[in-house]
Amino acid sequence: MNNIAIIFMVIGMACDDINTRHDDFKLLQLRFSSLSYVHLFSLINLLTRTVLLTIAVFQMPRFGALLAQFF
């Protein structure tokens, strides 16, 4: 489980780095069928952070038990 969290953390950091570099290089905003690469990387970053938060919550027994009641 920790290996999966590390993989998602690296993906999230890479997408965050690409978004930061986009502020300096406006050329990155190439269009790919009406969805820019920046929006795509932002979406991937949001999804990886959500997965990391979910893994972290389920790693904690108290919060995991509380969250499991709702699902």
Could you state, in order of their start, the residue ranges of all structural domains in the chain?
A: 2-68
pLDDT tens digits for range 11-58: 777 666 665 555 555 544 554 445 566 677 777 777 777 777 777 767
Beta bridge partners of 35: 32
3-state secondary structure (DSSP) of residue 33: coil
CA–CA distance, 38 with 41 (Å, rounded to integer): 5
CA–CA distance, 59 with 55 (Å, rounded to integer): 6
pTM over 0.85: no
Cα diameter, the chain: 47
pLDDT of residue 40: 72
